[in-house]
Chains A and B, each alone.
Chain A
């Protein structure tokens, strides 16, 4: 029985890094994490965050990081950390809800993240952006920035 358990554990250990690699490719999960043994395979993740409040007339206002409240700072730091490790699997709902709760002037908030990495083909720095608009009703919709 214990022999079977051991074999099962070893097979899982041997197969999991392949699944972890798939997660890194599909959702930009940090290769260094999640037990895939890909430490030092790529530079550590670099992620930038931008919050844009959307007024009732549709105009967007970038929320200056220096103007974040302590709670917004905590939520943003938590989200950035999760986004760095879990890539696009990490959702910004908690951050968006916190911002909307503190800023009644906005009808929704756009969470914009940019994840950088080195492209193995060109060896140039490249990035992937995500803009998600979070409404007060909890709906999440992709947001197309005006300048494309």
Chain B
């Protein structure tokens, strides 16, 4: 540890870290554009200059390592003047088109101007004209005029994806970031480029002109689209009092997590949020009674009656339970305790979600978030597509995932075709929702809390990033209420007021649950 002074306050900081990091840890913001913790400092934007006692020139905070006794000023007159000067240069050629810029609200240039600038423009020359909307990738638009040449994007394609699509061409004031004529950004992580761009130079076609960032509420979550379990933020829009907005979720961005995904997420996770917005089941459906509004209490009563109707003798052979690896640990545990052990569902099947293409970075082949949780809970499930079905099926309870494909639903359908009573728990409409006797709308991962275990065995808790849609509820809640309705061991299920309480119970049974990370 070394002792340093930042703005006259003493701090004990780790040896070898930079002044920037030390200040950040102390809660002192130093403006910066080119610096990004994923990359080695390049020191080109010159926004993070600070004064260090005894050093004649202002120094880069991003690249200067702390020394014992160092006295740093991040905000004195000289530093602020230099910062203003750099900002003035950056804004000189800037098109100032914030009203039509999607970065507005998230833009560092805007933030810094408001905080450190606020000067009248003294630029009386003609601005450099540059290309304003070049499509540089499937989802990316590049605006050369807004670019501050921080090179974060170039470094990303060079160091992270190693795909080398972007480069800096020309030099001096003509220097520009560009692709080759026939070499658009084409990698599975391209959306990160729009995200790390500190200004509005690279914008995301998916978000472009859709809404303004200040209308959005950000919530933390975990991406469920593969078994990596990347940390994400979900930006959603509540709508306005006088008119509805076309979407709920507008944007998914990566959230820093050194243990899982670093700073990045893949494009599958970034753009694959359609299921949260579209085709959702919002109400409980009861066959032949579509017009009747159904509340949960009533519906669970009906369900409990239907379950009780299955004679205990038929339970083991005639009741089928269909699970999927999108269910959280807590939900799977409740299914195990309540449905399998107590209600004696012996025919447990898992919906097969076909593998996708993985890579050696973040994307795994498993297109579901919690296969590992299923294993660690010791839940044995047969394959719905390859294992034999029981002869006669009285009752089937099916939990389907949002990304069920036609083969998956066909395999569930095959069970439904044989079954007398068909109950579906699903977040999204699918081929089964119309042929079920009852459909219970469930919340998606983004709307619930719980935990998942990723491919490497890391257990991650998550909370709702947005409210559950319509009447939908998370499965764990439905299961607890079902158990209470059927009236088995009321006291046991009463304790499960939240997923955390369920996880505690899991750990009572499996002490190292979710602690076996590879």
A and B associate in one complex: no
Q: Which residues of B contact A (CB under 8 A)?
A: none
